[in-house]
Amino acid sequence: MGSIALIGNSSLTISETSKAHDIARAFIDIKIANSEIPILKSLLNKVLLDSDLSPDQIQQKISEKNSTKEDFINKIMKNINDDELTTVELALKLEKQSKKENLDNQRRIDSTKRQVILENINKEEIKKYSYLEPKINIILDNYSVHKAQLVKKICEILNMNLIYLPPYSPQFNPIEQVWRTCKIEIKRKYYYSKEKLEKFFVKTYFKVVNEGNFFNWWEKTFLKKVL
């Protein structure tokens, strides 16, 4: 997940998924790259560090929210004693209740990650320093996760303004050309490990961004028409 800056510093975030909590981390990286307040950079780096939980830590947080054994049994008995449920309906309800308590439930894992990063960043000190600096305007596409409540809330805390492109208009977004250029460079080599691929991609990304003139045509074609 990357950003290229018309004014300011570009950034890149490496992540295995592009879920709401991952997108949130990318926006925090953008703020860190463009902040001139050392204490704010330090606070945001701490947010990222504290939010990077291990699988065991996530399971621990999930287990803390699980029902007690007594409550779980009561929920099951309530359904078992519901004479209006068919055997199939009862089985489905019991399966659903069991999944909710499962520490490996992906929805609960993602929800926990979202809660943790929001709790860590939703601090008055971070808001105060973020609003001492000029607002950052980010132009992005309509990918559904870009409009997630978590993402909007974190951008509000970080003093960022999200400007969504019209639907199905990648030609309006200069970073699409960056990705295409990076892919051309990447496919020319063979990588012996994921780590080597990531390292080469980061190097390639910033080389492409720094050497390319992706905004020249964009300014002439689009920006001047709206100013």
Q: Residue 154: which domain range? A: 1-55+112-167
Based on the domain organization, do 51 and 9 belong to the same domain?
Answer: yes
Question: Phi-psi region for residue 168, left (φ > 0), alpha (ψ -120 to 50) or beta?
Answer: left
Whether 22 contacts 1, CB under 8 Å: yes
Per-residue model confidence as pLDDT tens for the chain (227 residues):
999 998 899 999 999 899 999 999 999 999 999 999 999 999 999 999 999 999 999 988 888 877 777 877 787 788 788 888 888 887 888 787 777 777 788 888 999 999 999 999 999 999 999 999 999 999 999 999 999 999 999 999 999 999 998 888 888 888 999 999 999 999 988 889 999 999 999 999 999 999 888 877 777 776 655 54
User: Residue-wise over 96-105: b if at least 16 C-beta within 10 A, else e?
Assistant: eeeeeeeeee
Domain boundary among 89, 110, 131: 110
109 near 53, Cβ under 8 Å? no
41 and 65 assigned to the same domain: no
pTM of the model: 0.84
Cα dihedral: 88, 90, 94, 95 (round 10): 20
Query: In total, how many domains does the chain have?
Result: 3
Whether residues 149 and 102 share a domain: the answer is: no
Residues 76 and 6 in one domain: no
